[in-house]
Amino acid sequence: MFEPLKRPQDKRKDLDRLVGTTEELDAYRVAMRRAKVEVDAHERDIKKLREEILPRLLARKIEAAVDLRWLDHAETVLAFRALPEDRSDEQKVLIESFNQRLD
């Protein structure tokens, strides 16, 4: 009769194996490194912009009562003012929600 198929211990190893000629694989690796460098640079730029913009937005909301619909809740402002290690789970959710809308 038929023998059952033997499954590899780690399926990912078989599925993640790169296929191609040496030249194709080298070109792929170079392209991936270049892409990573570009993505990392953009992520640094985004982080820097957030660090510059967020305090200004919060200051405007608090001091000038600017009508920013996504900052209407004082809890969000308080969450950002709290130290990261002191934030409650609820504050962490508020911050994550705010960041998603900001993006």
Q: What is the DSSP string of the chain?
A: -PPPPPPPS-HHHHHT---S-HHHHHHHHHHHHHHHHHHHHHHHHHHHHHHHHHHHHHHIIIII----GGG--HHHHHHHHS-GGG--HHHHHHHHHHHHHH-
pTM score > 0.85 for this model?
Answer: no
Per-residue pLDDT of the chain (103 residues; tens, 9 = 90+): 556 555 555 555 666 777 888 899 999 999 999 999 999 999 999 889 888 888 877 776 655 554 555 555 777 888 888 888 988 998 898 888 888 877 7
pLDDT of residue 13: 61
The whole-number pLDDT of residue 64 equals: 52
CA atoms of 25 and 27, how far apart (whole Å) = 5
Residue 43, pLDDT score? 93
Domain ranges of the chain: 20-102
Q: How far apart are CA 54 and CA 39, in angstroms?
A: 22
